[in-house]
Amino acid sequence: MTADATTIDPAHSGEFKHADTVAIQTFGFWIYLMSDLVLFSTIFATFAVIGHNYAGGPTGKDLFDLPYTFVETMFLLFSSVTYGMAVLAMYKGKKNSVLAWLGVTFLLGLGFICMEVNEFYHMILGGNGPQRSGFLSAFFTLVGTHGAHVTFGLIWMVTMVGQVVIKGLTVPVQSRLMRLSMFWHFLDIVWIGVFTIVYLRGIL
């Protein structure tokens, strides 16, 4: 066997190392998402148990504005579409398009959070804070936990915009963008559950 046959190209070795690192990081992120799924499942279960304990206070029919929440929901769902467009642009190597779509996604996500904060503000202002009843405690915990995740996602998105601007669409940056994509779509799925179980069932 010649020396050439046993020599590994350093460039190819670097590619394998990158691929292994990305695979490990992606696997680790899947584990994180599963732990988050357990967290949300627990909070959903809590809401199912105490969500009808109104303690003589208002119910979902008294508090929820379905058209308002529907607009809020559309903000988040469309932000998932625009993030998908950012990923497509990333695969094509179009840096400016990635930045533009991330910007649109951020604005939609920010609109969602602003509407949620406004809803919380008016509920608390009307004396319907989380301490009012078991129903409201469960509501604020579930919706607030989801909102905290979306807020973290927006911070992460701003960070990724900075990395794309400074570093470009390198392999590590693309890997982080894909993990953020997983996180963002996961939050969309959770919100569909929130909208259906909390808002729709609360009004019907």
Which pLDDT tens digit goes with each residue over 112-159?
Answer: 999 999 999 999 999 999 999 999 999 999 999 999 999 999 999 999
d(CA 187, CA 3) in angstroms, rounded, equals 53
Between the two ends of the chain, the Cα-to-Cα distance in Å is 76
Query: What is the pTM (predicted TM-score) of this model?
Result: 0.88
Distance CA 204, CA 201 (A): 5
Q: How many CB atoms lie within 10 A of CB 149?
A: 19
Which pLDDT band holds residue 81 (cuts at 50, 70, 90)? very high
* Residues 57/137, Cβ–Cβ less than 8 Å: no
Q: CA separation (Å) from 16 to 92, 167, 195?
A: 22, 21, 43
Which amino acid, residue 171?
V
Both structure tokens of 163? 């990395």
Q: Is the pLDDT of residue 4 over 50?
A: no
Nearest alpha carbon to residue 76 among 193, 197, 201: 193
Which letter does DSSP use for residue 7 in this model? Answer: P
Residue 170 carries which side chain, given as an amino acid letter?
Answer: T
d(CA 77, CA 109): 9
DSSP 64: -
Least Cα distance to 142 among 62, 74, 61, 46 occurs for 46
Asked if residue 115 lies in contact with residue 75, where contact means CB atoms within 8 angstroms, the answer is yes
Q: Is 1 exposed, middle or buried (0-12, 13-18, 19+ CB in 10 A)?
A: exposed
Sequence-distant (6+) residues with CB within 8 A of 29 are 179, 182, 183
Identify the pLDDT of residue 204: 78
Provide the pLDDT confidence category of residue 10 given band limits of 50, 70 and 90: very low
Q: What is the pLDDT of residues 25-59, one digit of tens each?
A: 889 999 999 999 999 999 999 999 999 999 999 99
Query: 90 pLDDT exceeds 80?
Result: yes
Token pair 């008016």: residue: 122
State yes or no: pLDDT of 196 exceeds 90.
yes
165 pLDDT higher than 60: yes
Question: What pLDDT is recorded for position 23?
Answer: 85
